[in-house]
A and B are shown apart, each in its own frame.
Chain A
């Protein structure tokens, strides 16, 4: 039992941080809850250390497996928690000038309105969702998986509704209903597979074949696809991201996705008798194509990014689809996940630095006023395209190589075609940033968010070089 807890140390540390934060936050005056975020950051950093240095192996009777994949999920998720907590405690610096109204363009503030401990709630919910995401990544038992889907999903629904205005409520409701529906489907699938195999542990499922078990796997997959935000369970993503602050949007599009994609990979590999890869491949193509096509016409940057993340999930599903055919699949999937997390957070950090400008038109002339932020944004967006020398380029290269190596050359071609298509809307954002905008008297910028954006952008370039050092 003690050994089990030791194996689960990162999750435990993160959960401890959440509980401690909740306890401390209750005693702090509303609106001055910075300490809670501090506790959360410490908990997440401790989780990173524990994940890197902790023991590997199985825990709790083989329901939870700690291997390289789980370690990567833990480190990336905990890192994302640190980044988003730093971002969350930041406001644009408007002192000494006419006060801008951050609420104008739908960016509700996270500070306390009327005594609510919003900051505490944000930090605690974020950490709980992160624990859920980690469990998703390591679960090797269907029951634990179903529980993890709920644990990763429900806190996010509450997060989305924190701002308590009309759009945020809609976002939260939409997320909650979708997550409940697909969570239910996942549970149904679990039941069905339990009935067919007599057990829920992955090793017991190896021999499953036939249409009934295929239906069961599809149902379980549905729950995971929802958490990952992939087609056909993607429709919550744009509304939820567009209805909340950039920081919450960053959380919604990062944590759960990472765990869910590794979970899909585990499920695909665990059931060799079923044609899951074909389904995953079709969903991958649908995700990247739909996400890209829908992103074309967006003028709201959060919506545009939301659709962009849907297409990114499509790319991420490609290595999963060839997981049985090539040894490249797992390193590519994990590498792309980490690269995606860094790049996506960098772009959201740029948004968070100027929460008053969330429309494409409001980006004009950014390069003149805040060159550092503009370069970070350009690096981040070109990174999402997959331009060298960013890390996503290495990831995308690996994705296409895995597709070709796994005998699915058509998937590789689809990835390249979609990348070309995605170029259009990312450039639509970059172009106004580097044009001269209308003269603006004040363009306040959140200092910490800007620093985070620049650091992540540098990391996304340096990561490519680091590949040589680490390997």
Chain B
């Protein structure tokens, strides 16, 4: 079941490799994406206590490496979110041009589709992997694929090619992203190895390792190595500097996947690996996590406030949102607080991962629409958008409110649980983090006000005839097209569903979260 889920995109990619027709490529991709969503739903329905759909096969027995996959309450919602985001991205790419500027070369479309199929395969793989090496393999390959997405389709990539200039800003951002996260992943691997050789028998199996937690100096060193690797990916202040340029220069769909899925690999790694496998070291270093989390929250919020570009602003709010996750996970390491509060914090952190994936994915896709229509996502370049672009305005408003944590949307559920769960353990930090909420609220409302309301003022390119996108259809307005509306609408609908009925996800997450808390308390 789970194997089929991550192999299916690769099979489709192989089938589509010789195809050059855009319609077939995109059609195949969307069908696969729908299938993945259905499979994720079916797999989720089978999750009880413990791991569902578990498969264990020896892979490299000499090193204790196994092919072990399974789905539990922590990973199932993330897998669901991942497949949903990829479906949205596929729909978004339907009529839009991948490169946003009239790129009609079918070979480029093929490259785009194949890369995203590969990304979907490894993203699902990361979340279902229950073996450290398997996790690392998927984790690393995702970085390689994302590098090619940013370098090949990022902003400025085409212009640089036309003018013959050697490297575009996208290529530089991609390289920075690659080096940063790749180095992080290797440091993390060192930590994995320290874990694997700690016991009498060499093994990388996560449940086995969870049964023999590592403590002492070796455990602390392993946690530092793993923590650094995951923190870079998350990203946590002060190793977040790769994120804004990568997001700014990545194509909209790439940004959406990067923010929604790839960042979660970092935070998911904390919940899946750092906390249960290294409980003692995590408890002793919990304060570090809390402090870094709070700094990320405030830093991300304040720097986002100063941004002029919408994509950059959303990128910094990602740092802010991931800061809450680290804060909550750090609070889970304080045994003095009751297990209920800590369970609530871990639950909130997981909901936040899902919520942030849905909402930020939508925000990046919307920012991509602005880039596509007007050539810029500068906040100041757009004003009075509500008139000419009603669908954009509605969805953007909903996404912004979800991101700032308005009750009724998923962001509120997540942030409320995290802060309420952290309060008994680290009251000062939780109070400081709550300040971050106010800042993000301010910045989103300000962006809404200046872009949607006021006198109508669009960039000159958006006022002209909108770009042709197909041979037989020419969109009549600058507003969202049908595919894009459905894409963003899907993500926001999921966010709304979680906001209105949190039990949809929390009933799955909470038991798994309390298991994690029990493991940390050992």
Whether B193 contacts A400 by the Cβ 8 Å rule is: yes
Chain A residues numbered 324-341 whose CB sits less than 8 Å from any CB in chain B: 328, 331-332, 335
Whether A387 contacts B193 by the Cβ 8 Å rule is: no
Whether B148 contacts A434 by the Cβ 8 Å rule is: yes
| Contact status of A388 and B137, CB under 8 A, knowing A423-B182, A435-B167 | yes
Whether A413 contacts B202 by the Cβ 8 Å rule is: no
Q: Is residue B211 within 8 Å, beta carbon to beta carbon, of the partner chain?
A: no
Scoring B67, B107, B141, B193 by chain A CB atoms within 10 A of each residue's CB, the highest score goes to B193
How many of A's residues come within 8 Å of B, CB to CB?
Answer: 34
Q: Is residue B340 within 8 Å, beta carbon to beta carbon, of the partner chain?
A: no
Whether A401 contacts B61 by the Cβ 8 Å rule is: no
Q: Is residue A404 within 8 Å, beta carbon to beta carbon, of the partner chain?
A: yes
Q: Is residue B59 within 8 Å, beta carbon to beta carbon, of the partner chain?
A: yes
> Residues of B contacting A400 with CB < 8 Å?
189-190, 193
| Contact status of A405 and B59, CB under 8 A, knowing A393-B137, A419-B186, A423-B182 | no
Complex alpha-carbon distance, A393 and B197, angstroms? 18
Whether A401 contacts B202 by the Cβ 8 Å rule is: yes
Whether B59 contacts A416 by the Cβ 8 Å rule is: no
Give the shortest distance, in Å, between B79 (CB) and chain A (any CB). 20
For residue A389, which residue of chain B has the nearest CB? B137
B61: contacting residue among A394, A419, A435, A471, CB under 8 A: A471
Whether A328 contacts B58 by the Cβ 8 Å rule is: no
Q: Is residue B302 within 8 Å, beta carbon to beta carbon, of the partner chain?
A: no
Contact flags (1/0) for B306-335 with A, using CB distance below 8 Å?
Answer: 000000000000000000000000000000
Complex alpha-carbon distance, A16 and B167, angstroms? 54
Q: Is residue B133 within 8 Å, beta carbon to beta carbon, of the partner chain?
A: yes
Q: Is residue B140 within 8 Å, beta carbon to beta carbon, of the partner chain?
A: yes
| Contact status of A431 and B171, CB under 8 A, knowing A400-B190, A471-B60 | yes
B178: contacting residue among A405, A409, A427, CB under 8 A: A427
> Residues of B contacting A412 with CB < 8 Å?
190, 193
Give the shortest distance, in Å, between A432 (CB) and chain B (any CB). 8
Q: Is residue B183 within 8 Å, beta carbon to beta carbon, of the partner chain?
A: yes
Whether A416 contacts B190 by the Cβ 8 Å rule is: yes
Complex alpha-carbon distance, A393 and B167, angstroms? 29
Main secondary structure of the interface of B (DSSP, over half): helix
| Contact status of A331 and B140, CB under 8 A, knowing A413-B190, A416-B190, A431-B167 | no
Whether B58 contacts A471 by the Cβ 8 Å rule is: yes
A328: contacting residue among B62, B67, B151, B164, CB under 8 A: B62
Complex alpha-carbon distance, A405 and B151, angstroms? 39
Q: Is residue A467 within 8 Å, beta carbon to beta carbon, of the partner chain?
A: yes
Give the shortest distance, in Å, between B119 (CB) and chain A (any CB). 14
Whether A404 contacts B178 by the Cβ 8 Å rule is: no
Whether A328 contacts B202 by the Cβ 8 Å rule is: yes
Q: Is residue A397 within 8 Å, beta carbon to beta carbon, of the partner chain?
A: yes
> Residues of A contacting B216 with CB < 8 Å?
none
Q: Is residue B239 within 8 Å, beta carbon to beta carbon, of the partner chain?
A: no
| Contact status of A394 and B60, CB under 8 A, knowing A387-B140, A412-B193, A434-B152 | yes
Q: Is residue A436 within 8 Å, beta carbon to beta carbon, of the partner chain?
A: yes
> Residues of B contacting A389 with CB < 8 Å?
137, 141
Q: Is residue A206 within 8 Å, beta carbon to beta carbon, of the partner chain?
A: no
> Residues of B contacting A404 with CB < 8 Å?
193-194, 196-197
Chain A residues numbered 304-333 whose CB sits less than 8 Å from any CB in chain B: 328, 331-332
Give the shortest distance, in Å, between B134 (CB) and chain A (any CB). 9
Q: Is residue A420 within 8 Å, beta carbon to beta carbon, of the partner chain?
A: yes
Complex alpha-carbon distance, A436 and B165, angstroms? 9
For residue B221, which residue of chain A has the nearest CB? A409
Whether A467 contacts B196 by the Cβ 8 Å rule is: no
Give the shortest distance, in Å, between B337 (CB) and chain A (any CB). 35
Q: Is residue B144 within 8 Å, beta carbon to beta carbon, of the partner chain?
A: yes
Q: Is residue A382 within 8 Å, beta carbon to beta carbon, of the partner chain?
A: yes
Scoring B62, B133, B202 by chain A CB atoms within 10 A of each residue's CB, the highest score goes to B62
Whether B58 contacts A468 by the Cβ 8 Å rule is: yes
Scoring A400, A412, A413, A427 by chain B CB atoms within 10 A of each residue's CB, the highest score goes to A400
Q: Is residue B175 within 8 Å, beta carbon to beta carbon, of the partner chain?
A: yes
Whether A382 contacts B62 by the Cβ 8 Å rule is: no
Complex alpha-carbon distance, A416 and B192, angstroms? 13
| Contact status of A382 and B144, CB under 8 A, knowing A393-B137, A419-B186 | yes
Q: Is residue A398 within 8 Å, beta carbon to beta carbon, of the partner chain?
A: yes
Scoring B161, B178, B197 by chain A CB atoms within 10 A of each residue's CB, the highest score goes to B197
Whether B202 contacts A405 by the Cβ 8 Å rule is: yes
Complex alpha-carbon distance, A394 and B167, angstroms? 33
> Residues of B contacting A471 with CB < 8 Å?
58-62
For residue A379, which residue of chain B has the nearest CB? B144
> Residues of B contacting A328 with CB < 8 Å?
62-63, 202
Whether B59 contacts A431 by the Cβ 8 Å rule is: no
Contact flags (1/0) for A376-388 with B, using CB distance below 8 Å?
Answer: 0000001000011
Complex alpha-carbon distance, A412 and B225, angstroms? 13
Whether A468 contacts B136 by the Cβ 8 Å rule is: no
Q: Is residue B24 within 8 Å, beta carbon to beta carbon, of the partner chain?
A: no
Chain B residues numbered 166-222 whose CB sits less than 8 Å from any CB in chain A: 166-167, 171, 175, 178-179, 182-183, 186-187, 189-190, 193-194, 196-197, 202
> Residues of A contacting B62 with CB < 8 Å?
328, 331-332, 335, 398, 471
A401: contacting residue among B59, B141, B187, B193, CB under 8 A: B193
| Contact status of A468 and B193, CB under 8 A, knowing A328-B202, A435-B171 | no
> Residues of B contacting A388 with CB < 8 Å?
136-137, 140-141
Give the shortest distance, in Å, between A384 (CB) and chain B (any CB). 14
Complex alpha-carbon distance, A424 and B176, angstroms? 11
Give the shortest distance, in Å, between B418 (CB) and chain A (any CB). 33
Complex alpha-carbon distance, A253 and B60, angstroms? 27
B164: contacting residue among A331, A382, A438, A468, CB under 8 A: A438
Complex alpha-carbon distance, A431 and B152, angstroms? 10
Chain B residues numbered 123-165 whose CB sits less than 8 Å from any CB in chain A: 133, 136-137, 140-141, 144, 148, 151-152, 161, 164
The interface of chain B, by Cβ under 8 A from chain A, is: 57-63, 65, 67, 107, 133, 136-137, 140-141, 144, 148, 151-152, 161, 164, 166-167, 171, 175, 178-179, 182-183, 186-187, 189-190, 193-194, 196-197, 202
A–B pairs, 23, beta carbons within 8 Å: A328-B202, A332-B62, A335-B62, A371-B107, A387-B140, A387-B144, A393-B137, A394-B60, A394-B65, A397-B63, A400-B190, A409-B194, A413-B190, A427-B175, A427-B179, A431-B167, A431-B171, A435-B161, A435-B171, A436-B164, A471-B59, A471-B60, A471-B62
Extra contacts besides A419-B186, A420-B183, A471-B59 (12): CB < 8 Å: A328-B62, A328-B63, A387-B141, A397-B189, A398-B60, A412-B193, A431-B151, A431-B167, A438-B164, A468-B57, A471-B60, A471-B61
9 nearest A-B pairs in the assembled complex, by CB-CB distance: A388-B137, A436-B161, A404-B197, A468-B59, A467-B60, A405-B197, A331-B62, A388-B140, A420-B183
The interface of chain A, by Cβ under 8 A from chain B, is: 328, 331-332, 335, 371, 382, 387-389, 393-394, 397-398, 400-401, 404-405, 409, 412-413, 416, 419-420, 423-424, 427, 431, 434-436, 438, 467-468, 471
